[in-house]
Amino acid sequence: MDFNLSEEQRLLKESVDGLLTDVYGFDQRKKYLKEKGGWSRVVWSRFAEQGLLGLPFVEADGGFGGGGVETMIVMEAFGRALVVEPYLATVVIGGGFLRHGGSNVQKAAHLPGIIDGSKTFGFAQLEKNSRYDLNDVTTSAKKSGDGWVIDGEKFVVLNGENADTLIVTVRTKGAQRDSSGIAVLLVPADARGISKKSYLTQDGLHAADVSFTSVEVGSAAAIGDPENALPLIERVVDDARTALCAEAVGLMDESLKVTVDYMKTRKQFGVPIGSFQSLQHRAADMFVALEQAHSMSMYATMAAEIDDAAERAKAVAAAKVQIGRSGKFIGQQSIQLHGGIGMTMAAKIGHYFKRLTMIEHTFGDADYHLRRVSETGLLA
Amino acid sequence: MDLVFTEEEQAFRRQVRQFLRDNVSPQVQRKMIEGRHVSKEEMVTWWRILNKKGWNVSPWPKEYGGTGWSSVQHYIFREELQMYPAPTPLAFGVGMVGPVIYTFGNEAQKQYYLPRIANVDDWWCQGFSEPGAGSDLASLTTKAERRGDKWIINGQKTWTTLAQHADMIFCLCRTDSSAKKQMGISFIVFCLNSKGVTVRPIQTIDGGHEVNEVFFDDVEVPYENLIGEENKGWDYAKFLLGNERTGIARVGVSKERIRHIRELAANFESGGRPMIEDPRFREKLAISEIELKALELTQLRIVADEGKHGKGKSNPASSMLKIKGSQSQQTATELLMEMIGPLAAPYNEHPDSPDEAMDWIAQIAPSYFNNRKVSIYGGSDEIQRNIIAKAVLGL
């Protein structure tokens, strides 16, 4: 039992925190949001220079051999700074599929571009009616010669507007909700037959609804088993959930800090509002919610590396429940304690709340994961 | 970072568990699972077995009989006791007065009291709360007046847990009425069977008798029973309550209760199926399991951080352990209450009478009512929030 960071991890944390202090102030972020696609290529290349884009990949693939803790450190820092660059979609998810299921050829083709920052990925998984069920897939991929022909529609594709490559979940066999008969395909974002409707999301990120009309890809497009890729999808999405938990902890931590600072300076009735006991107790409850979330983020980080799929899924689901509940409470109360100013786009705090809210509705909300945990119970 | 217990820590856990299997009376274990009354004799017998093993005062410094375990080992030991379940060492002696005596007492007091606490030769109780001094403990009025080589003590304490078993009391008494309220308090220990002491039972809403009122009427106590310096008692009390807080989450107790609920709910029918298949009930149980897992890790994080706050200083974040620990314990008893529903109704006049044949169902309502206390004692939830707001958040 050891909660300390190793020397290397401590240095990583210092360097990420240092970089974000330099390049990711709230006003600097506003400029990035206005750049083409809504994020900064300059910042992205700084991430590449510091090795963040190659963090989770083994050294043989040109990476730095980082594990879950390293990703947790980065995501927490990104949460604190409200980073909008497509790290989750590209490194955690795109990279995750390649790490956990990619062939050597696929890795050689795609990892260098991820690691040097020249390419980004999008994840086309959500469908109109799939909600949080990863097995609910109607977008079809029919065998055609050596390759596949894709038809269907995907919604809120993460980094869908800007990605060079899309990772698309498709049905190759069976009915809409069957667990088998699902494939994961690598599709160039500019492939013929793809049309995109891009938009800004509530949290300042960019996504797209993407439709596929007779999109042809070769046989090499499939990552893993084209008739049974659901376990791979679950594994990568568990990584993504875990990364989101860490990002949410960073968001909550900063929300509480900003809110407490505000309570110390904002005066009403001639005194700082932080001197009122009812508000102090609210802030104390936010602290408790944050610490519980922090513990569960660590728990998920450790569990995400377990190979036993059922054990891993249960732990990650439990963490997502805690993060969802804590995030909603801290987010809403941060706005409440700020009062009117918390309602404005100009104030920082609302942007934390919005990102926390979007995280809650990504890859399963608290109720969804609670149902999963309740089927077996958490404690052995 | 590694959230798995090391091989050594797991071996230690197995060693503790084996010792419990070999030494805890099955009758005591069963009583504790069912939430029934464990008698004074049963507890003292068990604690003396622990003491013989050298484990009854495990957290104390080695020179006073402690084990020298790591903070994680202490955590494991406590959790194993709670989960087995077996009675944990008497908090009033081992966790409270003992550390005050070895930290602030003189040599003679250490020599005399510490071995007696370890072997439970004396049962200790706590004389802190008064009718007018609850959360505002420093407003206490029980008075100790110096007369020659004696203290003359007058006043009243209340909520005195298990005073009916006690031989000794450690008492906060006002020794200087002219000083600011925190400054004029001293920490004095004495025999509960001294002349002028009256113990009266308080019946709590579960029907049981755990707490008492204790009256002092010109009680004569030798001057040397003062611990530490005169008028420094408030500092010692804060030290003591800080010690209490880290152990107060009682994660192992809640884990054991949830295990018990799961087992009972698998066999208890509702709507023609086992209660555990009721989705609403199952989700509530899952929420409490998740909260408890989070609490367990938070506690371990705070345990791992111990010592970084200076000797004898507690981490103010440990106040959250009290809040969440209380919630977990209360939720578990609430879930049991929900499970048995209308069958909770019969009231037993003597719920803590040592009745072997008593049905486990009969313990559920009393346990639910009784557990409301945990968010009140040892610094109420609201006091803990005050501590977090001030000492952690700087408000």
pLDDT class for B352, splitting at 50, 70, 90? low
pLDDT at residue B199 tops 60: yes
Q: What is the pLDDT of residue B346?
A: 87
pTM, entire model: 0.94
pLDDT class for B307, splitting at 50, 70, 90? low
Instruction: Tell me which of B244, B256, B296, B338 is the catalytic residue.
Output: B244
B244 noted as active-site residue: yes
Task: Identify the DSSP state of B187.
Answer: E
Mean pLDDT calculated for residue range A139-167: 96
Nearest neighbour of B323 by CB, restricted to A69, A288, A296: A288
Looking at beta carbons, which residues of chain B come within 8 Å of A327?
Answer: none
Looking at beta carbons, which residues of chain B come within 8 Å of A370?
Answer: 283, 286-287, 290
* Cα separation, A214 vs A152, whole angstroms: 9
Q: Kindly list the distances between the CA atom of residue B110 and the CA atoms of B57, B97, B101, B236, in Å, as whole numbers in the listed order.
A: 14, 11, 6, 16
Please tell me the least confidently modeled range out of A6-15, A21-30, A141-150, B343-352: B343-352
Mean pLDDT calculated for residue range B337-361: 75
* Residue pLDDT, tens place only, B8-51: 999 999 999 999 999 999 999 998 988 888 999 999 999 999 99
* A305 against A24, higher pLDDT: A24
A378 and B293: CB-CB below 8 Å? Answer: yes
pLDDT at residue A378 tops 90: no
A295 and B285: CB-CB below 8 Å? Answer: no
Q: How many helices (H) and strands (E) does chain A have?
A: 12, 10
Is residue A305 helix, strand or coil?
coil
| Structure tokens, B119 | 């072997």
Question: With an 8 Å Cβ cutoff, is A380 touching chain B?
Answer: no
Mean pLDDT calculated for residue range A178-195: 98
Looking at beta carbons, which residues of chain A come within 8 Å of B281?
Answer: none
Question: With an 8 Å Cβ cutoff, is A30 touching chain B?
Answer: no
Q: What is the pLDDT of residue B353?
A: 58
* Residue pLDDT, tens place only, A2-56: 888 999 999 999 999 999 999 999 999 999 999 999 999 999 999 999 999 999 9
Burial A140-163 (b: 16+ CB within 10 A, else e): ebeeeeebbbbbbbbbbbbbbbbb
Q: What is the pLDDT of residue A227?
A: 96
B283 and A370: CB-CB below 8 Å? Answer: yes
Mean pLDDT taken over chain A: 96
* CB < 8 Å from A in window 331-390 of B: 382, 384-386, 388-390
Q: How many residues does chain A have?
A: 380
A292 and B294: CB-CB below 8 Å? Answer: yes
Question: With an 8 Å Cβ cutoff, is B317 touching chain A?
Answer: yes
Kindly state the greatest CA–CA separation across chain A: 77
* Cα separation, A81 vs A19, whole angstroms: 11
Looking at beta carbons, which residues of chain B come within 8 Å of A375?
Answer: 282
Nearest neighbour of A4 by CB, restricted to B1, B255, B295: B1
Q: Are A128 and A91 in contact (CB under 8 A)?
A: no
Looking at beta carbons, which residues of chain B come within 8 Å of A284?
Answer: 384-386, 388-389, 392-393
What percent of chain A clears pLDDT 90, i.e. is strictly above it?
Answer: 95
CA nearest B281 in A: which residue?
A374
* Residue pLDDT, tens place only, B143-154: 999 999 999 999
* CB < 8 Å from A in window 183-242 of B: none
Mean pLDDT calculated for residue range A116-126: 98
* Residue pLDDT, tens place only, B86-131: 999 999 999 999 999 999 999 999 999 999 999 999 999 999 999 9
Q: What is the pLDDT of residue B132?
A: 95
What percent of chain A clears pLDDT 70, i.e. is strictly above it?
Answer: 100
* Residue pLDDT, tens place only, A87-119: 999 999 999 999 999 999 999 999 999 999 999
The shortest C-alpha distance from B93 to chain A (Å) reads 30
Looking at beta carbons, which residues of chain A come within 8 Å of B395?
Answer: 260, 263-264, 274-275, 280, 283
Looking at beta carbons, which residues of chain B come within 8 Å of A2?
Answer: 1-2, 304
- If one counts every other C-beta atom within 10 angstroms of the C-beta of residue B177, the result is 10
Question: With an 8 Å Cβ cutoff, is A263 touching chain B?
Answer: yes
A291 and B304: CB-CB below 8 Å? Answer: no
Q: What is the pLDDT of residue B391?
A: 94
* Residue pLDDT, tens place only, A315-360: 999 999 999 999 999 999 999 999 999 999 999 999 999 999 999 9
* Cα separation, B16 vs A89, whole angstroms: 47
A260 and B395: CB-CB below 8 Å? Answer: yes
pLDDT at residue A380 tops 60: no
Mean pLDDT calculated for residue range B139-145: 97
CB-defined contacts A:B, below 8 A = 134
Mean pLDDT taken over chain B: 92
pLDDT class for B243, splitting at 50, 70, 90? confident
Question: With an 8 Å Cβ cutoff, is B266 touching chain A?
Answer: no
* CB < 8 Å from B in window 307-346 of A: 318, 321-322
Q: Which of B251, B290, B321 to mutate to test the interface with A (most CBs of A within 10 A)?
A: B290
Q: What is the pLDDT of residue A100?
A: 96
Mean pLDDT calculated for residue range B319-338: 95
Reported ipTM: the value is 0.94
B286 and A370: CB-CB below 8 Å? Answer: yes
Mean pLDDT calculated for residue range B323-331: 96
pLDDT at residue B246 tops 70: no
Residue A356's nearest CA partner among A337, A329, A317 is A329
Looking at beta carbons, which residues of chain B come within 8 Å of A322?
Answer: 290-291, 294
pLDDT at residue B309 tops 80: no
Residue A221's nearest CA partner among A197, A191, A193 is A191
